[in-house]
Chain A
Amino acid sequence: MTASVLYDAPGPKARVRNRIYSVLGSLALIALLAFAVYRLDAKGQLDPKVWDIFNNAGVRTNIRDGVLTTLKVFAVAGALSLVLGLLLAVARLSEHRPVRWLATGFIELFRAVPLLITIYALWVLFLTYKTDLGVIGDYTAFWGLVIGLTVYNGSVQAEVFRAGINAVPKGQVEAAYALGMRKYQVMTMLLLPQAIRSMLPTMISQLVVTLKDTSLGYVITYTELLFATRTMANNIIVNGDNPFTAVTIVVGAIYIAMCLALSSLATWIERRGRRAKTGVAVAAAAEPAEAPGVLDASKGPLGPTTDRETQA
């Protein structure tokens, strides 16, 4: 526990003091909450009529459809980004210099450019060449979003894979070559299985980032959860006002629930991995890498911060 570093086990005096602070802290937090509720009420946002909109079947269908489109984008982009990440990681470790350079350039470029910029550029590109790209034509925004998410998260996943591969002890590779294995055999039978196993928590954490970033579809007017619900709220009027606040609270809760479910899956896998004693350490399920560089392979597979971050 972090806390015990900073203070002793409290004695009788400190216990009393801590209790006073606890009460004061609680009071402050309750006051904050009460103020928020008071303001919400004063603005008529807690009026039963406002919340009654969620009893409407149409509203619920809208929210459900929004969740489904979000999950659809997430599923396609998540799967594609893992595939792309695998390919890029293998290409980056290739012995052929041009392949390595190409992969490195791709990864560095798309990791460094804001995802929104990429998505928007792709969207405009797809809109412009709509007729030539027959398949994409009707789903311009969908593919703009999916491919944008794929190239960005694929680049990050590639670094995650690479960190995992680098974490496998060198001796194993030498032993495999000594046994007469070929390069692709070493990669597919020895390196990748261990890399994936050890990096699974980090990979899932990156998928959480992917899930969160699907909401960028809002900007290119793709009807994911956020856009769908806001459009809906625009058309509903309760007491002469749009129920933006209520809808935002509900949609926010849905997002947080989805992301938390994925995050806790990552933490669970990490804890399971810790129990098993197989030699290659399992990475922490910490938020990896909206942050490029955290996974800098030169600093070891986990980067400098991730080792103790899971006490949350």
Chain B
Amino acid sequence: MNVLLDHLADFREGFIGTVLLTLASGLLAMILGVVIAGFRVSPVPPLRMFGTAWVTLFRNTPLTLLFLIAWFVVPVIFVPGLSPWTKALLALGFYTSAFVCEAVRSGINTVPMGQAEAARSLGMTFSQTLRLIVLPQATRAVIAPLSSIFIALTKNSAIAGAFSVTELFGVQKLLSDKGFPIAWIFLWVALGYLVVTFSISGLFRLLERRLGVAR
């Protein structure tokens, strides 16, 4: 108990760090994921191939390795001088985008064939069909898996703490280095993550109720 009270500032900072990192990389993953999903269902073969390669690559690479790439390869070869936070954002966002892409793609599959056919018969182009007809309807089917993906993202963001980004794992490490009993630290840090993940699943359940329709 004392561990929490004495280091409330550390815990608060770590908690906010976790929330911010999750939000930012979730946003990046959403944008990338939807774009790549669009690639994967597009009529242009090279883009489809690129999408497949993207998903295969990122789904089968350990996140820790992506973090190392963001830390030691990206700055050397592409963009120098990124802050640790940005690098963590990139690693988490790119990794999660592959999962978002798969969720969106399977959501697209749930839209009834007739909808797209009707859109085409009205003369809509591929991108119009996708943007105006299919994706809005796919949203409903995508919400449940997205919630799981964001919960996983929250948990994955712990790895950023191991790379000296301020968040909850960093707090666990810091306090255990100071010699506090690990069982208590574990409990409080775990509680912090539980708060975030419960909020996410609550939020998405709300969304699901709002957007749900009877078919």
| Residues of A bordering B, CB below 8 Å | 2-3, 5-8, 10, 14, 18, 21-22, 25-26, 29, 36, 39-40, 43, 45, 109, 112-118, 120-121, 124-125, 128, 208, 212-216, 218-219, 226, 230, 244-245, 248, 251-252, 255-256, 259-260, 263, 286-287, 289-294, 299, 303-305, 307-309, 312
Contact = CB atoms under 8 A, between A and B. Distances in A.
Interface residues of B, number: 76
Given A18-B43, A22-B46, A112-B193, A43 B129 contact: no
A45 B77 contact: yes
Contact of B193 (A117, A256, A259): A117
Contacts of A114: 154-158, 169, 193
A293 B148 contact: yes
B1 to A, nearest CB: 17
Given A114-B169, A252-B69, A307-B106, 18 more contacts: A2-B40, A2-B41, A3-B41, A5-B134, A6-B43, A22-B44, A114-B154, A121-B176, A125-B183, A215-B62, A219-B162, A245-B73, A255-B62, A263-B60, A291-B148, A293-B148, A293-B201, A308-B110
Interface stretch (B5-13, B28-36, B51-59, B86-94): B51-59
A36 B74 CA distance: 10
> Which of B68, B111, B149, B183 has most chain A Cβ within 10 Å?
B68
28 contacts: A2-B40, A3-B41, A3-B48, A5-B111, A6-B41, A7-B120, A112-B194, A114-B157, A115-B155, A116-B162, A117-B158, A117-B186, A118-B186, A121-B176, A121-B183, A124-B176, A212-B62, A212-B63, A215-B62, A226-B62, A248-B65, A251-B65, A260-B60, A291-B148, A304-B144, A305-B141, A307-B106, A312-B55
